[in-house]
């Protein structure tokens, strides 16, 4: 059972890694833009939204990891009792 939890957690971590990369690329792209044109402002707003989404996903992934660990512990205890 622990392998299933580790597999799902690794998928969450991979997704967060891809999201980290995307946010980094957007940050780099916005730094290369010249002074506050409309497209620059749109990119900055999108970057802010993505940054907030990223932070929320990291919190959610942490919560999921904790819940998976707790569920695995409970299942392991139940199997060991049987």
When divided into structural domains, the chain yields a total of 1
Q: What is the span of the domain harbouring residue 73?
A: 2-81
Pair 44, 32: CB distance under 8 Å: no
What's residue 41's pLDDT? 81
* Sign of the dihedral through C-alpha 51, 54, 56, 59: negative
Gap between the Cα atoms of 73 and 66, Å rounded = 11
d(CA 34, CA 36): 7
pLDDT in tens, 15-44: 888 888 888 887 777 776 655 567 778 888
pTM of the predicted structure, to 2 decimals: 0.52
Ranking 13-17, 33-37, 70-74, 76-80 by mean pLDDT, the lowest is 33-37
Sign of the CA dihedral running 28, 32, 35, 36:
negative
Q: Is the pLDDT of residue 54 over 80?
A: yes
User: Are 9 and 65 in contact, with CB atoms under 8 Å apart?
Assistant: yes
């Amino acid at each position: 059972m622990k392998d299933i939890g580790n597999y799902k957690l690794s998928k969450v971590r991979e997704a967060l890694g891809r999201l980290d990369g995307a946010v980094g690329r957007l940050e780099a792209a916005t730094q290369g833009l010249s002074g506050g044109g409309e497209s620059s402002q749109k990119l900055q707003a999108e970057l802010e939204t993505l940054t907030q989404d990223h932070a929320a996903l990291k919190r959610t992934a942490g919560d999921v990891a904790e819940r998976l660990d707790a569920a695995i512990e409970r299942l392991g205890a139940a199997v060991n009792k049987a």
